[in-house]
Structure 1
Amino acid sequence: MMQSLSLPVLILLHVLGYGAVLIVIGGPVIWSAGVFAVLLIWISVIDADRFEIPDMGAGLLALSGLLFLWGQDMAVVIDHILGGLIWPLLFWAIAYGYLRARGFHGLGFGDVKLMCGIGLWCGFFATTNVVLAASLGGIVILGLRALTKRSLPRGLNQSMVAFGPFLCLSAWTIWLAGAHL
């Protein structure tokens, strides 16, 4: 259980934040945005609470990303398929390299699986921005933690940081900014 924020409060904050954007964007993209948001919220909350990305969540994110490509222009399909293949391989290489160099895991395999779905939803090139934004967000939170030395939610109050929530929020933001077009 989370120390500073209860799980229901965390879920409510996610739903309100993502839901407000859904209401604003409206239009035909709202159904796919709703599916994407629900999956990202589920994955983010579980990872923040347990340091674990659910296999079913990562699988459904990848499957829905593939379904979203149905009927898209071939250039879009190729970009998104490449995103779903190359980004997980890059994350796996980073995780493996870190494990070999340091002797312990620094990036979980759940993040690798998550990148498959994010790559399929956002595409190869837009996922570059997802990773950049997520990394910067993580650095800012760690910096704030170091400055304040106050108690933050469990996912941010230990030497480990749940990276999934940063990836999920960044994917949502980048996708809404135009990766879905």
Structure 2
Amino acid sequence: MEKATFGSGCFWCTEAMFQRLKGVSNVKSGYSGGAKDNPTYKEVCSGDTGHAEVIQFDYDPNIISYDELLEVFWKTHDPTTLNRQGNDVGTQYRSVVFYHNDSQKALAESYKQKLGDSNIWPDPIVTEISPLNVFYEAEVEHDDYYNQNSSQPYCAFVVAPKVEKFKKIFEDKLS
């Protein structure tokens, strides 16, 4: 098993999608890329810690490749909006790949370049590609959040439509 860490806006949305992929397990919401040790959700949401909301998970490269994970990452959020995904605004919602090794770095940079060259989006891709220094797990109430709270208004109106769209696009990769 290998690890991957991505930030693409609210970690509840990202977790809900990646935990449905074949070959992916142990999806955890958390924080990375900031200056404060052991930040809390409230501190990260303030935007003062520098952390991004991220997910970290294990994946089996014999079942799903890092390139396939990058495809899911880039197709399930807008990588052209700086520090924003929909109504979620702030550095904590930035688009970021935290790589675990040189291979992940090279693949992420190559994928980003290809997308940029393709002009799929009218604006440039602003996704940050940075080494993973530390991953702090979010508080336990964020574990499996969408599945446990699907009737909560944010989940019903923001997360659910993203998950449904994701399931249609990546039907062949679902567990």
Q: Normalising by structure 2, report the TM-score.
A: 0.29
- Greater strand share, 1 or 2? 2
Q: Normalising by structure 1, report the TM-score.
A: 0.28
- Greater helix share, 1 or 2? 1
